[in-house]
């Protein structure tokens, strides 16, 4: 039985969506048990009248909540009784627990994970790896997307290694095509950090490095992993999500502007629903913070039940694969490089 | 009569699209005259049989072309007889010429402009400012989008000043809302350069600075100017264009997958055509390289005639506004800041 912690507060739809997602995950995965952290009375209200396997669900009372606008370091230090920090401490201290999921403050989660949870040997800094769907029906992982706004070339190589092992182990992508986000295809593009990273990635035979990627090619299906510094990786992921949402919104508005269009859209109802599902990031789970000894999954702040359940599934898959060992094995080969 | 140079080679659809765009601009703007640079015989073939005001169109022979994959510095130094370098030299030397348009190599154009054309007094580095349409029917300028992959806080403030004056002078936006591209809304987000830039921008009363922008909000219509380092600004613009193109492509493919959808799409034919036009970057001209004493407009490498004509119109509007003087006036107020 795999134990996964679920921080039930701090998201836009907490705690209802988190509890709902927990029950869905319990249904779907028979060899998982969940520990929910948060205000016990509130969580019990959410569970009231619901049918579930009570032997696989436990509540750990944590009365405080970390808000999105709190300073991460202060939150980690001062809010010891928050749902997030209780989960982090349990993750650190309980050898029987391997993973946690949170939809709370990203900054606080990163600060807590970095200071409380050990790293895989050799890893300089853990990094986020969110997943986006591509037009060819596949998935692409972007690492880092915001945990590290400042990076070194060696860190970028490690992001490539961690994400490649992740896409292979968790999503079954064989020999993931790894690219480096840059302002042009040519190796000498970008600042010195990206130029150096290009050289390091090219000289890592464990990776299937295919060169620089220009951001307009992200969704084309030619890449399985995009290595990025946390700043531009964040811009890449959020711009993609934002543009997709804005365009869908515009389509909808324009459809309602004329009866003829409404009629046409009626015939295409299923297609539009499919497009919406395709672009709905709730369907793709959260971002795993790669490089830690234990699994930490950050769900979207706006995660609904379906997304929370997906995050728990990601945590489960992380724990049932041998990602940490494989990551360490490759990273330790290059550990003597200076950083 | 305003004289504008047009580099007619180096684009994907050169020289035909460039010549076609030139003729369209001559038709539209009665007080403009154009100087086309490039292989004279080829240009004459394009003009053959066309009706135009020959008194406002001149050809300057330049037999060489700079390719997209050439090293910028080498191209600038060695290809003196190229269509781009001839135009740059004329722009520098002829006092009667105020502007040039090129659809050729971005790297070569930046290198040539930086080394051959003077800057506005006080400007540390010129920067590109492409324009995107927003969902509320307005436009947003992103500065920088790739001319400077490494920046200082003071450079970012200058990008804000240059782009704000540009959006006001050329697009008539009153008191442009200026934002700083960052990984979160809060002032303390991002690396130190962005944190410092946030402080500088906040302390520039000539700017209507409204704070950090997250990239998912770019198209929402809440901002007129986005200040960015050239690396993440490049990612922002190209991801937006790429996502829009990919989604439109997916819609089209999905429509063709079922007869019912094709029927529905038939009723919505005009709407889809409008969406396509809305997202077609050819309609929004090119990127002006702000901060130079003379106007340099970079058209898309894939610019067609409509886009080339728009670029010429941008050059025209730059020259008929008093952007350079206003930019200098504001920038010189902060010139004592160390950089």
Model ipTM value: 0.93
B137 and B254 co-located in one domain: yes
Give whole-number Cα distances, B60 to B7, B39, B46, B63, B103, in Å.
10, 8, 15, 10, 17
Reported as type and span, the H/E element at residue B250 is: helix B230-255
Nearest one of B147, B228, B245, B253 to A218, comparing CA atoms: B245
| Distance, CA of A137 to CA of A102 (rounded, Å) | 28
B327 domain residue, yes or no: no
Task: Name residues 275-294 of chain B within 8 A of A (Cβ).
Answer: 275, 278-279
A144 and A172 co-located in one domain: yes
Q: Which residues partner with B208 through β-bridges?
A: B177
Q: Which residues partner with B292 through β-bridges?
A: B119
In this prediction, residues A39-62 reach a mean pLDDT of 97
A140 domain residue, yes or no: yes
Q: What is the pLDDT of residue A60?
A: 98
pLDDT per position as a tens digit, B295-312: 999 999 999 999 999 999
Q: Supply the CATH number for residue A89's domain.
A: 3.40.718.10
Q: What is the pLDDT of residue B196?
A: 97
| Between A51 and A339, residue with greater pLDDT | A51
pLDDT per position as a tens digit, B183-232: 999 888 999 999 999 999 999 999 999 999 999 999 999 999 999 999 99
What's the gap between Cα A233 and its chain centre? 13
Nearest one of B109, B206, B189, B200 to B154, comparing CA atoms: B200
Q: What is the pLDDT of residue A339?
A: 46
Q: Does residue B21 register a pLDDT over 70? A: yes
Calculate the average pLDDT of chain A.
95
B141 and B271 co-located in one domain: yes
Give B267's contacts in chain A (Cβ within 8 Å).
260-261, 263-264, 267
Give A244's contacts in chain B (Cβ within 8 Å).
243, 247
> Among B183, B230, B267, whose Cβ lies nearest the Cβ of A149?
B183
Reported as type and span, the H/E element at residue B163 is: helix B153-171
Task: Name residues 248-277 of chain B within 8 A of A (Cβ).
Answer: 249-251, 254-255, 258, 260-261, 263-268, 271, 274-275
Q: What is the pLDDT of residue B283?
A: 87
Task: Name residues 216-245 of chain B within 8 A of A (Cβ).
Answer: 216-220, 230-232, 234-236, 238-245
Task: Name residues 23-82 of chain A within 8 A of B (Cβ).
Answer: 69
Query: Which residue in A has a C-alpha nearest to residue B268's C-alpha?
Result: A261
Judge: B181–A243 Cβ closer than 8 Å, yes or no. Answer: no
> Among B146, B149, B235, whose Cβ lies nearest the Cβ of A235?
B235
In this prediction, residues A98-114 reach a mean pLDDT of 96
User: Are residues A10 and A302 in contact, defined by beta-carbon separation less than 8 angstroms?
Assistant: no
Relative to beta strand A208-213, strand A225-227 is unpaired
Q: Does residue B339 register a pLDDT over 50? A: no
Q: Could you give the angle at which helices A259-267 and A230-255 cross, rounded to 10 degrees?
A: 110
Residues whose CB is less than 8 angstroms from the CB of residue A172 and which lie 6 or more positions away in sequence, other chains included: none
A76 and A197 co-located in one domain: no
A115 domain residue, yes or no: yes
B117 and B131 co-located in one domain: no
First to last CA, chain A: 39
B190 touching A, CB under 8 A? yes
Q: Which of B267, B273, B287, B301 to mutate to test the interface with A (most CBs of A within 10 A)?
A: B267
Judge: B250–A275 Cβ closer than 8 Å, yes or no. Answer: yes
Q: What is the pLDDT of residue B336?
A: 66
How many independent structural domains does chain B possess? Answer: 2
Q: Could you give the angle at which helices A305-320 and A16-28 cross, rounded to 10 degrees?
A: 50
Residues whose CB is less than 8 angstroms from the CB of residue A269 and which lie 6 or more positions away in sequence, other chains included: none
pLDDT per position as a tens digit, B136-147: 999 999 999 999
B117 and B136 co-located in one domain: no
Range of the domain at B210: 127-283
A93 domain residue, yes or no: yes
Percent of chain A with pLDDT strictly greater than 70: 99
Q: What is the pLDDT of residue A337?
A: 57
B2 and B113 co-located in one domain: yes
**Region of A84 on the Ramachandran plot (φ > 0 left; ψ -120 to 50 alpha; else beta):** alpha
pLDDT per position as a tens digit, A193-227: 999 999 999 999 999 999 999 999 999 999 999 99
A85 domain residue, yes or no: yes
A295 and A163 co-located in one domain: no
Q: What is the pLDDT of residue B337?
A: 57
User: Residue B120: which pLDDT band, with cuts at 50, 70 and 90?
Assistant: very high
> Among A135, A181, A263, whose Cβ lies nearest the Cβ of B267?
A263
pTM for this prediction: 0.94
B110 and B238 co-located in one domain: no
| Distance, CA of B129 to CA of B106 (rounded, Å) | 13
pLDDT per position as a tens digit, A254-296: 999 999 999 999 999 999 999 888 888 888 889 999 999 999 9
Task: Name residues 195-214 of chain A within 8 A of B (Cβ).
Answer: 214
User: Residue B280: which pLDDT band, with cuts at 50, 70 and 90?
Assistant: confident
Residues whose CB is less than 8 angstroms from the CB of residue B260 and which lie 6 or more positions away in sequence, other chains included: A267, A268
User: Residue A68: which pLDDT band, with cuts at 50, 70 and 90?
Assistant: confident
Nearest one of A37, A146, A198, A102 to B232, comparing CA atoms: A146
B170 and B275 co-located in one domain: yes
């Amino acid at each position: 039985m795999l134990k996964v912690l679920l921080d039930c507060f701090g998201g836009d739809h907490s705690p209802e969506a988190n509890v709902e997602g927990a029950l869905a995950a319990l249904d779907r995965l028979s060899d998982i048990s969940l520990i929910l952290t948060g205000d016990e009375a509130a969580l019990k209200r959410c569970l009231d009248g619901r049918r579930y396997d009570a032997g696989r669900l436990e509540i750990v009372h944590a009365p405080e909540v970390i808000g999105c606008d709190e300073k991460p370091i202060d939150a980690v230090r001062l809010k010891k009784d928050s749902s997030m920090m209780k989960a982090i401490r349990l993750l650190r201290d309980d050898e029987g627990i391997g993973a946690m999921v949170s939809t709370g403050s990203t900054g606080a989660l990163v600060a807590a994970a970095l200071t409380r949870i050990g790293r895989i040997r050799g890893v300089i800094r853990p990094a986020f790896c969110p997943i986006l769907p591509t037009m060819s029906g596949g998935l692409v992982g972007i690492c880092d997307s915001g945990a590290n706004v400042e990076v070194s070339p060696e860190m970028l190589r490690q992001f490539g290694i961690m994400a490649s092992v992740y896409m292979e182990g968790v999503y079954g992508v064989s020999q993931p095509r790894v690219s480096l986000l840059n302002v042009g295809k040519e190796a000498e593009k970008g600042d010195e950090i990206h130029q150096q990273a290009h050289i390091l990635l090219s000289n890592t035979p464990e990776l299937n490095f295919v060169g620089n990627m220009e951001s307009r090619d992200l969704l084309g299906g030619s890449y399985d992993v995009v290595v990025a510094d946390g700043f531009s990786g964040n811009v890449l992921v959020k711009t993609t999500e934002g543009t997709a949402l804005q365009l869908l919104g515009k389509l909808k508005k324009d459809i309602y502007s004329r009866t003829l269009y409404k009629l046409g859209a009626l015939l295409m109802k299923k297609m539009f629903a499919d497009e919406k599902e395709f672009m709905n990031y709730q369907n793709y789970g959260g971002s795993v913070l790669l490089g830690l000894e234990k699994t930490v999954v950050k769900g979207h702040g706006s995660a609904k039940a379906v997304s929370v359940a997906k995050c728990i599934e990601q945590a489960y898959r992380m724990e049932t694969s041998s990602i940490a060992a494989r990551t360490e094995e490759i990273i330790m080969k290059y550990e003597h490089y200076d950083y």
